[in-house]
């Protein structure tokens, strides 16, 4: 079974490090890239064939880049995470699912949540 391909987009160092810790020993999860800007993220999502894109969670709403990702790549899932340990998962909006994570294992579970149901 192929690994879930994860792309990180503009997340804080603490969040990036948390994601890397969460996937480092998981054979079914793979970080395929890091994109600094929204434009780089949109391009990289297609080029790298990402399954899940992790972006920063803005206060009160869907991250702007998430809308573009979902429009351009309907099969992709966007996980908007905060440094406070929460995340909102978006796939074909408006289907937000809020998840909480405090440990690397919980974050890994949040990353693979939708994908496990489809496999």
Task: Tell me, yes or no, whether 111 lies in a domain.
Answer: no
Pairing of strands 77-81, 52-56: parallel
Q: State pTM to two decimals.
A: 0.84
The CA-CA-CA angle for residues 105, 110, 113, to 5°, reads 120
Task: Tell me, yes or no, whether 21 lies in a domain.
Answer: yes
- Residue range 76-92, pLDDT digits in tens: 998 888 767 777 777 76
- Residue range 43-75, pLDDT digits in tens: 999 999 999 999 888 776 677 888 889 889 988
Residues 110 and 101 sit within 8 Å (Cβ to Cβ): yes
- Residue range 97-107, pLDDT digits in tens: 666 677 788 88
Task: Tell me, yes or no, whether 109 lies in a domain.
Answer: no
| CATH number of domain containing 51 | 3.40.50.2300
Which residue range(s) make up the domain with 42?
4-91
Number of domains making up the chain? 1
Task: Tell me, yes or no, whether 57 lies in a domain.
Answer: yes
Task: Respond yes or no on whether the N-terminal peptide bond of residue 94 is cis (omega within 30° of 0).
Answer: yes
Q: What is the DSSP string of 89-111?
A: EESSSS--EEEE--SHHHHHHHH
């Amino acid at each position: 079974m192929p690994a879930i391909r994860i792309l990180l987009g503009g997340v804080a160092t603490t969040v990036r490090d948390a994601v890397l810790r969460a996937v480092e020993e998981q054979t079914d999860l793979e970080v395929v890239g890091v994109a600094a800007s929204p434009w780089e993220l949109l391009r990289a999502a297609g080029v790298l064939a990402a399954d899940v894109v992790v972006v920063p969670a803005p206060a009160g709403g869907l991250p702007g880049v998430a809308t573009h990702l979902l429009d351009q790549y309907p099969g992709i899932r966007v996980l908007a995470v905060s440094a406070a340990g929460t995340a909102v998962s978006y796939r074909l909006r408006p289907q937000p699912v809020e998840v909480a994570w405090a440990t690397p294992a919980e974050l890994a579970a949040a990353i693979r949540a939708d994908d496990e149901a489809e496999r």
